[in-house]
């Protein structure tokens, strides 16, 4: 929870329901005020009524939390509708993840482009991870399937590790894509340093609960942990797009 508290930094009221706009707006404003009182300096979050009366949804980066209107109780977990057996939190978490990744900006990613893009997959990767290297070695096959690969750096051993230094060197190379391929094949690259997004990628991965690499995030926010071969990934993405998943 301390990490969550540090992340909560401005509250922007979400749009109320049209039917009782004035009442909902007042209640949301009160919940916002109470939450800011309990967590001083609250920024960078959004708050809106939750599906359960009396609770408010707080979105902080990729995290979805719930708070009571008095701001006293902060709740982590899923809301399940027992009548419909529907997880009401899961789609909100997925949307929060896609929004957080979009906030990174493609200019801060290392991207491999196919001739024709059918799907885009964002991958948290570690330069020295064995399965990350196995995935990268088959990059041409992913691209042949029309899968656009966007890399975010996630040195599993932390920002003081050699893997992190390699990630920074890749980012600072004249040709990042080539440097990534060389590094992942075990070849030496020039260990440069410059302004880079590696630490912010790593922090986002931690917020999203990434523990191992590669970690794939699909366009709808679904996370697939571990290595997925090109054919299998292509088949899954195609079926998903057709509504068969």
The residues assigned a catalytic role are 126, 129, 132, 156
Output DSSP code: residue 17: P
Helix, strand or coil for residue 122?
A: strand
Q: How far is CA 24 from CA 29, 53, 69, 211, in A?
A: 8, 11, 11, 38
DSSP bridge pairs for 147: 119
Residue 161 CA to residue 142 CA, distance in Å, equals 29
Contact 143, 112 (CB under 8 A): yes
**Residues contacting residue 112 through CB under 8 Å, at least 6 positions apart:** 139, 142, 143, 148, 149, 151, 177
Backbone angles phi, psi at 96, to 5 degrees: -60, -40
Helices (H), 185-229: 198-207
What's the alpha-carbon Rg for the chain, to the nearest Å? 20
Surface-to-core class of residue 237, CB atoms within 10 Å of its CB (0-12 exposed, 13-18 middle, 19+ buried): buried
Residue 96 CA to residue 91 CA, distance in Å, equals 9
């Amino acid at each position: 929870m301390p990490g969550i508290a540090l992340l909560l930094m401005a509250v922007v009221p979400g749009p109320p329901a049209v039917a009782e706009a004035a009442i909902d707006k007042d209640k949301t404003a009160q919940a916002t005020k109470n939450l800011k009182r309990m967590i001083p300096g609250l920024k960078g979050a959004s708050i809106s009524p939750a599906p359960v009366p009396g609770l408010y949804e707080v979105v902080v980066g990729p995290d979805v939390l719930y708070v009571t209107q008095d701001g006293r109780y902060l709740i982590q977990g899923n809301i399940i509708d027992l009548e419909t057996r529907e997880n009401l939190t899961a789609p909100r978490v997925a949307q929060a993840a896609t929004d957080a990744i979009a906030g990174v900006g493609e200019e801060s990613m290392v991207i491999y482009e196919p001739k024709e893009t059918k799907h885009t997959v964002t991958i948290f990767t570690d330069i020295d991870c064995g399965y990350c290297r196995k995935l990268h070695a088959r990059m041409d096959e992913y691209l042949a399937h029309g899968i656009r690969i966007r890399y975010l750096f996630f040195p599993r051993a932390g920002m003081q590790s050699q893997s992190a230094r390699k990630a920074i060197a890749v980012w600072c190379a004249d040709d990042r894509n080539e440097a990534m391929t060389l590094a992942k094949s075990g070849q030496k690259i020039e260990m440069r340093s410059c302004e880079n997004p590696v630490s912010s990628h790593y922090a986002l991965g931690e917020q999203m609960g990434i523990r191992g690499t590669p970690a794939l995030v699909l366009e709808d926010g679904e996370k697939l942990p571990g290595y997925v071969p090109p054919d299998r990934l292509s088949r899954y993405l195609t079926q998903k797009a057709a509504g068969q998943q």
